[in-house]
Every structure is written in C-alpha cells, then in structure tokens.
Amino acid sequence: MPQVSHLAPRDQILEASATLFVDEGFAGTSTRDIAELVGIRQASLYYHFAGKDGILAELLQQSVRPSLDKVERIEAECPAEVPEAALYLLALIDVHTLARAPQNIGKLYRMPDVMKLEIYQQFRASLKALTKAYGRLGARIASEPVAATTSTNQLGGILIQLTETVIKSRADNHKIRPAETHALATSCLRACGVPQDRIEVAAATATDLMPRFIEEQHAQ
C-alpha cells in the first residue's frame, strides 16, 4: 500500500491512478490495478468514481484548472501600470501547478491513448481557454515586431509551450526549483518582446502577489 494514508480515499485513488497512468499508460491500467495500489476493494473505488474515464477526466482538469480559474483575478489584482506582471504571474502559477502535482500529470494529455478518448476532447476546451488567456495577456504587452508577425492565438500557443517544458523536465527526473520557475516566466515575457527593465519590474510585482494565490491553491 502506498504511503498516502493521510489523504482522503478519493485523493488516494487519484494519486494512485496518476502514478499508474503516467507509468503504465491509461490503456494499460485497470481499475483493479488502481484499487490494489490504494489497498481497497475494487467495489470501493466505484463508490467514488464511475470508472477510469472519470478519474482521468479529473486528473486532466487538475493540470489546467488551478491556473485557468485564477486568470480573472490575476488581471484584476495586477496593477495597471505593470501590465507585464499579469503574464508573469500566470506563468508562475502554471509552472507551480505542473511542478508541484504529486505525479507528472501534465504528461497525461500528451499520451496517444488518452488523446483518442472523448473525455480528452472535453479537456481540450479547458486547455484552449488557458491558451487563449496566455495569448490575450501576451498581446497586451507584445512589442510592435511581435504583434506584427504573430497572431494572438499563435502567441498563446508559444507561451503555454514555454511553461509546459516543466513537464519534460519532470519526466527527466529534474527537480523544478524557484529559479527555473522564474526563468520560464521571464522567457514568456521575452517571447513577447518585453525589455529587460520591464521584466524586472514585472517579476518583482508578480513575486509579491504570488503567495496569496498559492496559499489559496493549497487550501483547496
């Protein structure tokens, strides 16, 4: 039995499922495998989830919703005189979400057997919304050359791909340290053509705001 006794049964199931899905693949994991890893009867698993698809759907959302649900608040709380701070803060929160998840759940939505499922199409709507938020925040601060050559949708795709490099880093057993988190956020602003002096102001502003967002996330 894994050492997760401090978690509620539903969370134990999610964590065990994430471990198996990431290591063995979604198709290669059964509900019996999950129940055995948690140390419960298979029937007990069905009390919390209807099946594997429901578990996967929740895990997929956990990789994007903590960031997506904060976008409006980020835009509201970042000072208007430092518009670059909103993108920097979103990137910090997004990298934190992907880096601190118990398992590397960001890998799930890149797996071929997952991408074939109907629930993946439902998840794509959330991922698309987060990508759109990146594009919107990036377009507000983009330099003239960037704005002239890159559409808002393209910019959003570029920015979210930068933050998602943390998924590859975790797959390589690389521990994501605070300095790397800030480096990725900085890279997002540089991709928008933001000058270094404005990046430094944005970084300081976002760093001051970050604790209240993360404390709220951990309390949920």
Q: What is the pLDDT of residues 70-95, one digit of tens each?
A: 999 999 999 999 999 999 999 999 99
- Predicted structure pTM score: 0.90
Q: Can you give the pLDDT at residue 5? A: 55
| Whole-number Å distance between alpha carbons of 215 and 209 | 11
Domain chopping of the chain, boundaries:
9-58, 64-219
Q: Who contacts 151 (Cβ-Cβ below 8 Å, separation ≥6)?
A: none
Q: 6 in helix, strand or coil?
A: coil
The dihedral of CA 114, 119, 122, 126: what is its sign? negative
> Between 196-219 and 84-100, two packed helices, what is the crossing angle to 10 degrees?
50
Q: Who contacts 84 (Cβ-Cβ below 8 Å, separation ≥6)?
A: 141, 189, 192, 194, 198, 199, 201, 202
Q: Say if domain 9-58 classifies as CATH 3.40.50.1980.
A: no
Q: Is the pLDDT of residue 4 over 60?
A: no
| Whole-number Å distance between alpha carbons of 129 and 55 | 22
Chain segment 139-154, per-residue pLDDT in tens = 999 999 999 999 999 9
